[in-house]
């Protein structure tokens, strides 16, 4: 399966992104099309999380960040947010053995402390249990908002300036990055969003400055390994210039 897919999509193993971020969208619409409740879509979305994680691990992606729940998602009906939190707890316990046997280290970004206690306990256990795994880090964005993340970073820096622990002139891009919840991870080279919405929706806005964006109409529960590889293939066809010209890149100019 692995070799078949790698070959089918002609993936260049020397050009695999280190970090892929995904906005998993379209669960509700997927369920509605089937005449089911929205939570049915979320439940089926867990299968796609498994597929994406497995595909990413197979080709050597080192970090996979999934937008599992945004700060704005709290505005949804209580019934749906509670069901999503229950699903998260249940999925963590169900998948923990598999995460460990596949070398997956679990991490989170976002306001985890506002999640229900049962969620916090499950996450803490899974993070502790997987902390020595080395193959891939799965970062779940939970109650996450990029603007909030940046605001908190600014607050912390301002406090240090006030206390005389930081010169305001020392505030540069690297320092700001180091105050974000993603300080230990490289910026994503690729962002995938499913369901035909072409927005960033308050996700990793600082970190996505040079990221390649890949949008697909496929609804998240239908997103399978082959769709992940297709996105990687698309990424590999692109030329990442970081503001330089094509000629400079060809000549390897600094
Ligand atoms: C977006 O679809 C999806 C979410 C807000 C939740 C994603 C959660 C999961 C896939 C399951 C749990 C996750 C893990 C990591 C175990 P939507 O509800 O916005 O769909 P719509 O746009 O069609 O309404």
pLDDT tens digits, one per residue of 101-154: 999 999 999 999 999 999 999 999 999 999 999 999 999 999 999 999 999 999
The rounded Å distance from CA 248 to ligand 1 centre is 42
Per the DSSP assignment, residues forming a β-bridge with 139 are: 65, 107
73 part of the active site: yes
The rounded Å distance from CA 42 to ligand 1 centre is 5
Give pTM, 2 decimals. Answer: 0.93
Q: Is the pLDDT of residue 48 over 90?
A: yes
Per the DSSP assignment, residues forming a β-bridge with 155 are: none
Query: Which residues are CB-neighbours of 189 under 8 A, at least 6 positions away?
Result: 17, 18, 19, 20, 211, 212, 235, 240
Output the pLDDT for position 248.
81
163 part of the active site: no
Give the Cα separation of 216 and 76 in Å (integer).
24
The rounded Å distance from CA 46 to ligand 1 centre is 9
Tens of pLDDT along 224-235? Answer: 999 999 999 999
| The CATH fold of domain 2-9+16-145+187-253 | Undecaprenyl pyrophosphate synthetase (3.40.1180)
Q: To the nearest 10°, report the CA torsion of 56, 58, 60, 62.
A: 50
Confidence of residue 250 (pLDDT cuts 50, 70, 90): confident
Output the pLDDT for position 33.
98
Confidence of residue 9 (pLDDT cuts 50, 70, 90): confident
Instruction: State which of 21, 26, 27 you would mutate to test the pocket of ligand 1, scoring each by most atoms of that ligand within 8 A of its C-beta.
Output: 27
Q: Which atom of ligand 1 is nearest to the CA of 67?
A: 7
Instruction: State which of 42, 85, 88, 91 you would mutate to test the pocket of ligand 1, scoring each by most atoms of that ligand within 8 A of its C-beta.
Output: 42
Tens of pLDDT along 179-188? Answer: 999 999 999 9
The residue ranges of every structural domain in the chain are 2-9+16-145+187-253
Give the Cα separation of 72 and 26 in Å (integer).
16
Confidence of residue 4 (pLDDT cuts 50, 70, 90): low
């Amino acid at each position: 399966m692995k070799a078949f897919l790698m070959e089918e999509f002609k993936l260049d193993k020397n050009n695999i992104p280190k970090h892929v971020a995904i906005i998993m969208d379209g669960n509700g619409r997927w369920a509605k099309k089937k005449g089911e409740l929205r939570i049915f879509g979320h439940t089926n979305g867990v299968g796609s999380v498994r597929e994406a994680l497995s595909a990413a691990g197979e080709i050597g992606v080192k970090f996979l960040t999934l937008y599992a729940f945004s700060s704005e998602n709290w505005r949804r009906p209580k019934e749906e947010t509670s069901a999503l939190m229950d699903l998260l707890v249940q999925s963590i316990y169900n998948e923990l053995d598999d995460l460990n046997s596949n070398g997956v280290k679990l991490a989170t970004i976002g306001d985890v402390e506002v999640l229900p206690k049962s969620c916090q306990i499950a996450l803490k256990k899974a993070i502790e249990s997987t902390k020595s795994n080395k193959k891939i880090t799965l970062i779940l964005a939970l109650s996450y908002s990029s603007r909030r993340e940046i605001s908190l970073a600014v607050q912390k820096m301002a406090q240090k300036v006030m206390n005389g622990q930081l010169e305001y002139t020392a505030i540069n891009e690297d320092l700001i990055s180091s105050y974000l919840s993603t300080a230990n991870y490289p910026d994503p080279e690729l962002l995938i969003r499913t369901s035909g919405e072409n927005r960033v929706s308050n996700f990793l806005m600082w970190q996505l400055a040079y990221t390649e964006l890949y949008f697909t109409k496929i609804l998240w529960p239908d997103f399978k390994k082959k769709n992940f590889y297709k996105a990687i293939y698309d990424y590999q066809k692109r030329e990442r210039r970081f503001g330089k010209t094509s000629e400079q890149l060809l000549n390897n100019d600094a």
